Copies of this chain bind each other. A is one copy, B any other.
Amino acid sequence: MADAMTNPIDFALGQRTRFYEELGAFLRIPSVSAKSEHDGDTERAAEWVREQLVRAGLEAETIATPGHPVVVGEWRGAGAEAPTVLIYGHYDVQPAEPLELWDSPPFEPEVRDGRIYARGSADDKGQLFLHIKALEAHLATRGRLPVNVIVLAEGEEEVGSPNLVPFVKEYRDRLAAQTVVISDSAMFAPGLPSLLFSLRGLAYFEIHATGPASDLHSGAYGGAVLNPANALARVVAGLHDESGRITIPGFYDDVLTPSDETLAGIRGLPFDADEYASEVGTVPTGGEVAFSPLERLWIRPSCDVNGMLSGYTGEGAKTVLPGKAMAKVSFRLVPDQSPERVRKLLEEHLARVTPAGVTMEVVELHGGRPWSARLEGPLFTAATRALERSFGATPVLTGEGGSIPIVVELEEILGASSLLLGFALPGANMHAPNEWFAKDCFEKGIDTLIHLYDELAAL
């Protein structure tokens, strides 16, 4: 299959049309891991990844877990002396709801204005696919890779990777690698490639407020019976003070202040509040007033309602005093906060503030620790050079407000260092309607990764 007549970069250029067609097929599989009705699709997506890895020239197998399967691809032809790089990605996607807000169906990819619109195009199918194609480009043109490669693609990232840590522990020897490479994040701006210095962690809960034994007539009982929906609104509102600071006692105890260098780096980045407002449709007034928007996103924890439901929410006026109310509330964490401690602090806080007449129950749905990169060394140098070669620009160091909880776990279990370089653009609507991935970033992304494998050989 080797095509010595060309090099990997030119090969990728020549195969671009086919690459887009294949990506389209991948995006058309609605592999929503959170919904059991999509279990068949999720399995189909795993098999699709396995076949692609084999086509690229790796050995690959799909390995069952108690949840969705893990795909493992391997190429070990670089020899025992060469570095081994583990590429982590995920083939599952977020639910697409609310469907009515999509301009084109979430699982029918459509190209508009140089962007591929589809659920998973940015998070993370599109970016996992970049790696597969970069590997294919090397193997198709040179018959070999500059480093040993393991591809680890899971199908449960969007539901908190409940089976991945046990899996990695079980296959610890087979997955042994010095370096973990992950493309599941965004660039700071178009044309400005980025390397991550941190990821926030996550602690995601449901709070269930229960009051009367059943729904009541809001006239016959309103004013006497404490309304669980009012009580829950009060508890949720009380999680922040007027300055946007989270009020849970002890919540900030484990929050570290980043180095002066990191702080200076953040302050040096161009942030245009007007542009941000025009992108998201509103001014960035969330979070702590004492910090800048980028600081609030990257180095400060946050607390958001992800969903809230109580009573009658259909057409018209139902005069009901609901018997219960539910809020999904999640916290983004920064080093050295942990989801376990945040849960404990939240439960203690609720025990203090829950008024008589209702009960509050906390259910933990999802947790992950925050991560910090090692900012020096050959790994960063290699990544910087690869990005410079492809983008013609020096990458900036950025934080990431989102969470990839497996990063810390992979580092600890495998004894590896992680490199996170993503190719989505700001406003890509990951987790929202109209998710997109820029074609330009798709193409530069493959080139970057082709260069990266070369650079990593020098580690």
In the assembled complex, A315 has its CB within 8 A of some CB on chain B? yes
Q: Mark A127-151, 1 if CB is under 8 A from B, else 0.
A: 0000000000000000000000000
| Contacts known (A224-B284, A285-B356, A356-B283); A204 close to B319, Cβ less than 8 A | yes
Stretch in A108-116, A320-328, A385-393, A446-454 touching the partner: A320-328
In the complex, A326→B388 CA distance in Å? 47
Within 8 A of B (CB), among A274-322: 276, 280-288, 293-294, 296-297, 300-322
Question: Which residues of chain B have C-beta atoms less than 8 A from A217's C-beta?
Answer: 123, 401-402, 429-432
CB pair A225 B284 closer than 8 Å: yes
Question: Which residues of chain B have C-beta atoms less than 8 A from A296's C-beta?
Answer: 223-224
CB pair A281 B212 closer than 8 Å: yes
In the complex, A403→B223 CA distance in Å? 14
In the assembled complex, A213 has its CB within 8 A of some CB on chain B? yes
Question: Which residues of chain B have C-beta atoms less than 8 A from A430's C-beta?
Answer: 217, 220
In the assembled complex, A366 has its CB within 8 A of some CB on chain B? yes
Shortest beta-carbon distance, A6 to chain B, in Å?
38
CB pair A321 B306 closer than 8 Å: yes
Question: Which residues of chain B have C-beta atoms less than 8 A from A305's C-beta?
Answer: 227, 229-230, 233, 310-311, 322, 325
In the assembled complex, A358 has its CB within 8 A of some CB on chain B? yes
CB pair B281 A304 closer than 8 Å: no
In the assembled complex, A94 has its CB within 8 A of some CB on chain B? yes
CB pair A34 B318 closer than 8 Å: yes
Question: Which residues of chain B have C-beta atoms less than 8 A from A307's C-beta?
Answer: 229, 310-313, 318, 320, 322
Shortest beta-carbon distance, A43 to chain B, in Å?
18
CB pair B357 A286 closer than 8 Å: yes
Report which of B216, B276, B285, B432 forms a contact with A431, defined as CB distance below 8 A. B216
Size bracket, chain A contacts: 35 or more
CB pair B308 A221 closer than 8 Å: no
Within 8 A of B (CB), among A405-437: 429-434
CB pair B304 A227 closer than 8 Å: yes
In the complex, A232→B215 CA distance in Å? 22
* Residue on B nearest A283 in the bound complex, by CB: B357
In the assembled complex, A101 has its CB within 8 A of some CB on chain B? yes
Shortest beta-carbon distance, A184 to chain B, in Å?
11
Question: Which residues of chain B have C-beta atoms less than 8 A from A74's C-beta?
Answer: none
In the assembled complex, A35 has its CB within 8 A of some CB on chain B? yes
Shortest beta-carbon distance, A129 to chain B, in Å?
20
In the assembled complex, A234 has its CB within 8 A of some CB on chain B? yes
CB pair B304 A313 closer than 8 Å: no
CB pair A226 B317 closer than 8 Å: no
CB pair B213 A304 closer than 8 Å: no
CB pair A325 B312 closer than 8 Å: no
Stretch in A16-24, A169-177, A235-243, A248-256 touching the partner: A235-243
Shortest beta-carbon distance, A285 to chain B, in Å?
3
Question: Which residues of chain B have C-beta atoms less than 8 A from A383's C-beta?
Answer: none
* Residue on B nearest A307 in the bound complex, by CB: B311
In the assembled complex, A395 has its CB within 8 A of some CB on chain B? no
CB pair B215 A101 closer than 8 Å: yes
* Residue on B nearest A94 in the bound complex, by CB: B318
Question: Which residues of chain B have C-beta atoms less than 8 A from A212's C-beta?
Answer: 280-282
In the assembled complex, A219 has its CB within 8 A of some CB on chain B? yes
CB pair A95 B314 closer than 8 Å: yes
* Residue on B nearest A186 in the bound complex, by CB: B220
CB pair A223 B302 closer than 8 Å: yes
13 further A-B contacts with Cβ under 8 Å, apart from A98-B215, A221-B401, A319-B402, are: A95-B318, A211-B282, A214-B429, A215-B433, A222-B332, A224-B401, A225-B280, A229-B307, A306-B321, A307-B311, A308-B311, A309-B309, A320-B432
Q: List 12 A-B pairs, Cβ < 8 Å.
A: A94-B320, A159-B317, A204-B319, A212-B280, A214-B433, A219-B403, A223-B287, A227-B304, A237-B237, A285-B356, A308-B308, A317-B328
